[in-house]
Structure 1
């Protein structure tokens, strides 16, 4: 996931949340820091050069769900896991995910199916 590579000064963000909420969040992501960093970059960096600008809200939610579930090292997610994550994020029936979301993301170059997995390209690879 994209860490800023500039020599800029770094800051720490502190958030107080319910312990149960923190635990559920921690269990749902590979790295809380990476996930929060990516989210902050996406929110603060949204603008003209945002690689997600050409996606509607549903496709953006689907892409972000796939990114959260993809391996940080390989950028891959098992197809069934990805379909479940997308169905939950978009509130679509799992059976509709392929046509409504995965095919459009593939056509736009955001994902690529490969041998039972989906390669989910990181935002920096989309520019």
Structure 2
């Protein structure tokens, strides 16, 4: 299966959901294996599970390495029934209003771990 990355430099795509916030920050992209049991939207913040080499929705209550930010999902995906290879952002600036986290987590819970992997959370006013 070919995984297509959104073009982060096309204005019409960026304006689609205002997920990307930085014109001067490098957006590094790639692919990861999303653990089955996840149906997620673009902007889902993902943690890496070192024991399985997969990613899942980040959750500060996790007892494994997925409690820390690893990457951001680049497109909507339904991995309810099987693991899926998905496009992700490994670095860049992201609008906090368009991010999703596991549990009751917010961007404030993960700001430090995100910063350590060159992911920046920015609050963009509505308007």
TM range (shorter): under 0.3
More helix by share: 1
TM-score, scaled relative to structure 2: 0.25
Larger Rg: 1
Higher relative contact order (CA 8 A, sep 6+): 2
More strand by share: 2
TM-score, scaled relative to structure 1: 0.25
